[in-house]
Amino acid sequence: MTAVFLFASAFLASAVEMVEALTIVLAVGITRDWRSSLTGVAVAGVVLAAIVAALGPALTLLPLDTLRLVVGALLLVFGLQWLRKAILRASGLKALHDEREAFAHETAEARTAQVERHAGLDWYAFTISFKGVLLEGLEVAFIVLTFGSTQGSIPLAAAGATVAVVLVTIVGAIARHPLTRVPENALKFAVGTMLTTFGIFWSVEGAGAHWPGGEAALPAVLAFVVLTSIAFVYTLRRGEPVPA
Amino acid sequence: MTRLRRFGDFWWEFVVGDDWRIAVGVVVALGVSAAIADSGHAAWWLVPVAVVLLLYASLRREARANRAAARR
Alpha carbon of A114 to those of A19, A45, A146: distances in Å?
27, 26, 40
CB contact under 8 A, B22 and A81: yes
In a domain, B2, yes or no: no
Q: Indicate whether A170 pLDDT > 60.
A: yes
Q: How far apart are CA A82 and CA A111, in angstroms?
A: 32
Q: What pLDDT was estimated at residue A214?
A: 86
Q: How far is B49 from chain A (nearest CA, A)?
A: 10
Domain extent, residue B45, equals 18-71
CB–CB of A207/B43 below 8 Å? yes
Q: Indicate whether B1 pLDDT > 70.
A: no
In a domain, B48, yes or no: yes
Q: Which residues of B touch A85 (CB under 8 A)?
A: 18
Mean pLDDT of A233-239: 86
Instruction: Give the pLDDT confidence of B5-57 residue by residue, as tens digits.
Output: 888 888 888 778 888 999 999 999 999 999 999 999 999 999 999 999 999 99
In a domain, A135, yes or no: yes
Q: To 10 degrees, what angle do helices A64-90 and A34-60 make? A: 140
**Looking at residue A19, what DSSP letter applies?**
H
Q: How far apart are CA A84 and CA B38, in angstroms?
A: 31
- Number of compact structural domains in chain A: 1
In a domain, A177, yes or no: yes
**Binning pLDDT at 50, 70 and 90, where does residue A243 land?**
very low
In a domain, B61, yes or no: yes
Instruction: Give the pLDDT confidence of A209-235 residue by residue, as tens digits.
Output: 999 988 889 899 999 999 999 999 999
Does the beta carbon of A214 lie under 8 angstroms from any beta carbon of chain B? no
In a domain, B6, yes or no: no
pTM of the model: 0.82
Q: Indicate whether A188 pLDDT > 50.
A: yes
Instruction: Give the pLDDT confidence of A94-123 residue by residue, as tens digits.
Output: 777 777 788 888 888 877 777 777 777 888
Q: How far apart are CA B59 and CA B70, in angstroms?
A: 16
Q: What pLDDT was estimated at residue A39?
A: 93
ipTM reported for the complex, 2 dp: 0.90
In a domain, A242, yes or no: no
Residue A214 burial (10 A CB sphere; 0-12, 13-18, 19+): exposed
Mean pLDDT of A56-85: 86
In a domain, A26, yes or no: yes
In a domain, A244, yes or no: no
CB contact under 8 A, B48 and A200: yes
In a domain, A49, yes or no: yes
Domain extent, residue A88, equals 2-237
Q: Which residues of B touch A87 (CB under 8 A)?
A: 55, 59
Q: Which residues of B touch A210 (CB under 8 A)?
A: 37, 44
**Closest-approach residue (CA) in chain A for B41:** A209
Q: Indicate whether A244 pLDDT > 60.
A: no
Q: How far is B72 from chain A (nearest CA, A)?
A: 16
A117-146 burial by CB neighbour count: b if 16+ within 10 A, else e? Answer: eeeebbbbbbbbbbebbbbbbbbbbbbbbb
Mean pLDDT of chain A: 85
- Number of compact structural domains in chain B: 1
Instruction: Give the pLDDT confidence of A1-36 residue by residue, as tens digits.
Output: 578 888 888 898 888 888 888 888 988 888 888 899
Q: What pLDDT was estimated at residue A1?
A: 59
Q: How far is B2 from chain A (nearest CA, A)?
A: 20
**Binning pLDDT at 50, 70 and 90, where does residue A87 land?**
very high
Q: Indicate whether A45 pLDDT > 60.
A: yes
In a domain, A226, yes or no: yes
CB contact under 8 A, B55 and A228: yes
In a domain, A233, yes or no: yes
